[in-house]
Each structure stands twice: as structure tokens, then as C-alpha cells.
Structure 1
Amino acid sequence: MLMNIFVSYIILTLRLHLSPNRFTLQDGSVSVLKFDKDKEKPASVQRALSVLEMEVEQIKKGSYDHFMQKEIHEQPHSLTTTMRGRLKDGGILLGGLKEHLRTIRRSRRVVFIGCGTSYNAALAARPFVEELTGIPVTMEVASDLLDRQGPIYREDTAVFVSQSGETADTLLALDYALENGALCVGVTNTVGSTLSRRTHCGVHINAGCEIGVASTKAYTSQIVAMAMMALAIGSDQISTQARRDAIISGLSSLPRNVSEVLKLDVDMKELASSLVDSESLLVFGRGYNYATALEGALKVKEVALMHSEGMLAGEMKHGPLALVDENLPIIVIATRDACFSKQQSVIQQLLSRKGRLIVMCSKGDASAVCPNGSCRVIEVPEVADCLQPVINIIPLQLLAYHLTVLRGFDVDQPRNLAKSVTTQ
């Protein structure tokens, strides 16, 4: 009998080779396969098989030119699947957290731990987690936490965010947190991953497989998953009921608004053509959209191989202002939230120094942010302020994609990068 066996640390490659059946080898264990056609012996260790619930069509490009392009345009669907079955009767139902909500509510703090895009998603979630739960939130880059051996306490809830669930630094930080007795929560896109197996509880973001090295749809689904976490944890607080209701309503309409912002694809391609010869790009954000600035700059850096920096707009006068001239393109995120008037001031200061500005604003605000047509404007749908980062990142993802194509670089396999960073 002909038998095919595939070995991989990335689960979706197994399905790509048309093998839905798998078993997981635990850390520290060894599996020896022996084949002797003349002898039929039962295996010395019986391992349970599980089935990958994934269609092969999910890991093909279809009508798109690149996986990154496909995954950007899949976001209305991926966000719908992230929320499916979890918005219940005006509330949030997260089965993976249900038994641990009381413990999380008693935590002295929540510690978000991640790397790269996953860290940025957690950073986007921090403000509304603090607002809705009343629990202090700290941020840790996994590698830095390990280098410092930073304090983790038994009374902490440590939330580990990783698309693959196999990121080496994140898993080592998980071991460190477990050793220190913290409640460990996983937020991952990969069922059966090491992260999902070793944490006490968690949330699968259900964004569907993501093949392009630069994460796009997983980022937005991570933000939405953590928004639902915050809503579930804070559901016992009467004082935030109206705010929670508004956010839940915003979640329901989010896929429709994402479909609307994807119509900017042609505009972003045109913008990319005007930036293709630039050497650098700055992205300014603050409040909810500081993370958007970091993530947008990271996307351009990753795939277009252009130097780009995401910056906190409140720090503009502490160094970055010296870089401003008529040649350096600067994107300022100025959608409607509590920081809107401050961003208007930032725009005026940059214009007074002849900055080359591209301003992202809410629909109808073009004249408020750029009087007299003094800069280029990207108008996006306005949603609940804490969900606005999901909308605002999409034009920047499209910009990064088109810049990469125009500059002639590999979109799905950027130079020197891997999808799952499994080494330190």
C-alpha cells in the first residue's frame, strides 16, 4: 500500500499536500517510523489522529495576483468569521474564556506579549481593554521581556498574541510566565498550535489561513478578537454598559465598512505611484491610532523595502520634526476621536514647515484637516473610535502592496523574512 507522510512545523502545508489527517508531536518527544513490508506490527505508541478543517481552495490565490492582495480583500469575510457565533443577544460569548473570566477580573494587571504585527494589534487593543475593564494594561515585546527577565506575578493575566502560535520568542515568554504562576491566555489564528495547547485558555481569531509573510487579515481579526475579550471581561460593569452597546453595534457593521474602505484600492495604487521613488516615509498617529502608524510603517518596510517609521504624533517635536521638508512624504492619521483636535494642530505645524502631507481623515472632514487643499487626503468611513484602527490600517496595507509591486519586489516572500519566526 502506498503511503505519503509529510512532516512540517507549519500546519497549513500539510493541507496543501492534500493530507487532512495529522498528529502532533509534543516537545521533548521522539517519533520513529519504521516500514517493513514483510512484517505487520502495531505501533509501540498509539497517537490519536486529528483532521484539519481546511479547504484547499483557502490556500490558493484564485483570481488574485498575490496572496497578500487576496488576504487584504478577504477582510470583510475574515472579520465576519472572527465574530461568528460570538455576538449573542447584545452581548459577547467567548467559550474559550468563559471559565476564567472571574479570575481575569481579579487580576492586578493584564500584560500583552507579542512580536511584530501581533504586538501592534495588542497595542491597538490596550486603550479599550483598560477603558472597559478598569484593569491596568502593560505591553511587552516578547524578546525584551526575556532579555530583562521582567517581573510577572501570580496575580497577572498574561495575554500572548501570535498569528501562527509558533513564534519562538512568544513561546519562551509563555514558559517564563507559566513558571511565575500567571494566568496565560492565547490569541492565535492556528488551532492546535503550541500556543493554543500550552496556555490556560484563549481565543482563536478564525481569520482563515494566511500565506503572505506580511500579516494583513490576521491583524484586523486580532484587534476584533481582543475587543470582544475586553467586552466579555468588562460585562459585569454597569457604568460602561452604554459604551459596550455602542461597540457591539459597531462590530456588527464593521465588515460592511471594511468593504467600503477597500474601494480605495485604485486611489492607493495612484498614491503608491507618486511615492515609488521616495527613500523614506513617516506615519504619525496617536491614541487608538498610534498602533496603526506603527503597523502601516511596518507593512511598507516589510514588503516594499522602503525605510518607514511609525511615530507617536505627541513626540513630533522631540526629534522627528527635524526631518520635515518638501520631499519627505508624511502620512498623518487624523480620523475622529478624542485626539482629533491635536492631530489638526500637528497637520498645521507640518504644513508651516512645507511638509509633504498625506492625511487620513473621516469622510466629510477633508476641509477641516486640510484647508485650501493643502495636502492629499484619504477619506475613510467613521466607526466607533476604538474600532477605527481596523478601518484605518486597510489603506496602508493597500499602499504597501502597490508600492511593492511597482518597485518590483516579491510581495508574498519579502527578502530575509519568514512567515513564522521559530528561532530566536
Structure 2
Amino acid sequence: MTSTDSGFHRRTLLAGMAGLGAAAALPTATAQAAPTRAASGGRHPSNWPDPEPYGTADTRLDLWPRADNSFVLPLELRPRDEEFGRVWMRDTYVNCFRVGGCPVYVATGTTRVPGLDAAAPWNDGIFVWVAHSIKGPWRLVDTTGVRPGAERGKVWSPEFAGENRSGRTVVAPWQEYWHDDQFGKRGEVWAPEVHRFRDTWYIVACMGTHSRKVGSFLLVSDGGIEGPYRLIEGSLDKPFGDALPDAPYIDPGARFHIDGSMYTEGDDAWLVLHNNLYAKFRDDMEDIVLTTNLPAFQQQPYTPEPYLEGAYVCKHGGKYYLLQSAWDRTSTAADDSIRYAYDAAAPGRTQYHYDAIAAVADHFEGPYSRRWTLGVGAGHNNIFADAGGRLWATFFRNPNFGYWADPARIADAAVPGVVRLEWTGPQGNRLYVQRPSRGHAIGE
């Protein structure tokens, strides 16, 4: 989620990648009423009134990533990407760090192997791209010095289990590939994030649903951003936290907390988990301080509370922002109109958009305010500041369900996208996808 090296805490122009099709798929700016200016001399936009009742989704096109406020990063293609024409990516993560006085932009995410249409039941690891400008050129990180002859840009994979040595584990037994009669080859890594903390590179990621154990772990580099990476001590035997109730595809007791993220401030670092939990890392970063009964963020849940994921914390303007991902589901209201809300799954409710929702607090642990819609279809993202201090969020357009799963749009789903954000200032203390009335240009 964040890093003190980046200037902002935490997780392209549609002209970048084969971009004309993607540009056509995005909505244009709407003709809705512009948000009013803040009372402080027009320096900040104002908050929008919250839809009622609490839990109603804000679906205005002003909150979508659009052609005027977003773009898809033109990431260097791997041989596997040539036929498709771009990098297929979920859970897109981008950040900007200052290393040796120069900005270093980093991108990563969940990718798939050739021959599969999803990142499951297995994929082949974590790839990282770097650039000196958000607009690129974006190149695969040079891993040839770590693994000569191996696929460039791949910094970690279950296939690296052969590199384990006494006292140095790269891949734990619970992360290795395995096989069964139902799925064949199994084991995938999800939602990686790259962080720079105390001049050291870290990657927090998650083994996915078809793995021997499902949950989050932390890697630390013995060198640069290219690695080589190893597991920290606290990730050797199992994912972080306590085991959760059983889930499909895995053995009883093998499901833990997914979508792990990292928040850093000063010399301290915290693990953030999507099940509303957090834990401080030990000073040596080899484990979390509490390994069981982790504390929970103080939130204002919806009624009923839906399944949330992709949680992370960032800090801006002296406030802490807790971001999570929720499905906006449609249903029929009493007056026969369409109701949009962050509901739990139930008959008559249809997944529409995978949104980013946010809440704000004075303290890391909370209590957090009521949530609001930060971005439509921008769920499972991260926020970062570019080299000029401008705020961005990532998005990927969920290809599994809802709006972007439509056959007419699926070709433009699963992208490494970024969208400009706006802050409503110290009075409003909200972050939104940049709304049309602000009129900023994209890029640096």
C-alpha cells in the first residue's frame, strides 16, 4: 500500500497500448452538474452528498476512469503477450519511489500463462516492470543477472523452489505447484505489491484459491528490485494470520487471509489484510508481532456487510484512508427502478461494477468514517503519488463478472490502468476519481 520512499502511502493514456479500442470502451465525460467549489477560495472541489441509505452505490459516470482522466500503461510485452497485443493483468499495482535522487515507477499485478483464459488454476509467478516516467517507456525489470537464460522480468515463482538452500527459502512447500484429478496443475500467486522500505525492496503477495494453502506472504530482496527474493521467516510454514472457515478447492484449514498489503510510516511497517485485520511487522521485518488474534480496523459496516477484499491503507493530508473493493449489485427497488448497492450476494442481485470504496480516519486503526464510492469499476487498486506529487489510483476492469465481462467489452478488460484522483481538501477529506469539472491534463 504505501511507502515513505514514494511520498504517498500504499497500491495508460488510452493512447499507450493498442489503445484505440480501449479508448472507445471507456465512457466520455458526462454532462451532469459539476461539483461545486470548496468554500476555501476554490482550491479544492467539494464532497458530493452521500447516496442514501448507507450502502447505496454512487454510479455517476463522473466517478469512472474515462478517456479524459485515465490511461492504460504501455507495458513492455513478453513473448506470451505478442499475439494478444498487450499485457493481460488483474489487481494492477503501480507506485513511484525515489532511488538515488531519481523517480522509479514500478508496476506489477496478477498475470496468466499462455493457454489459460484466467490466472488459475495455476500461473507462473510475479513479473515487474519499471519506468522513469508514468508514461514510460515501461520495461521489464532486468533479471538476467539473477537468472541468466530465464524469462526476463519474472522475480518470483513457485517454479523457483529448486533455489531453496539451508537457511534461505525462496519457495515454501505450501507454495509449490501440485496436481490433482480435478484441475491438473495447481497453484497461483495473486495481487503482488512492490514496496521500498528502509532502502530494501519487499513484495507482499498471496497464494490463490487453488494452492495448497491460500493466503498472504512477504518476500524480501537480497539485492535490488530485480531480486533475488526470499521468504521472510514468518511466511515459511503458512500464510499470515489464523486459518479461516473452509472454502472450495482446498483442504480444511488451508484457507487464510488473502490480498495482503503493506503500510509503512517512518521506521514502522504494518501488514493489512482484506478481512478487516492488520498487524505490525517486527523491527527485523521477519514476521508480524502478533501471529494470531489480529486486531481489526474500526469501521462502519453496511447492513448487511458484503464480502470485501483488496484492503489497504494510505495517508494523505494528515488523514488515513482505508480502501476496499466491493461489488455494486443491481436489484429492483420498490418503485420498480434499478437499485445500485453494495449488497451481499443474494437472488435477484446482479453484479454490476467492482468498485473502490473508501473511508477516512485520524488514526491508522480508526475509527473510520462512513464509506463512499471513490471510483466506479476501480476496485482492487492502490493509490500512489507521481514524481510531481499528483495522486493516481490503479484499475484493471474485472473480467470475471459484471460490466467488463460483457462479450462486447471483455477484450478491453484486465488492463494495467491508472486514473487521476482529486482531493477535496482539509475540510472535505475525501479522495475521488478526478471528476470532469476539474479540467486537469493527464500525465506529467
Tell me the TM-score normalised to structure 2 length.
0.24
> Which structure dedicates a bigger proportion of its chain to strand?
2
> Which structure dedicates a bigger proportion of its chain to helix?
1
Higher relative contact order (CA 8 A, sep 6+): 2
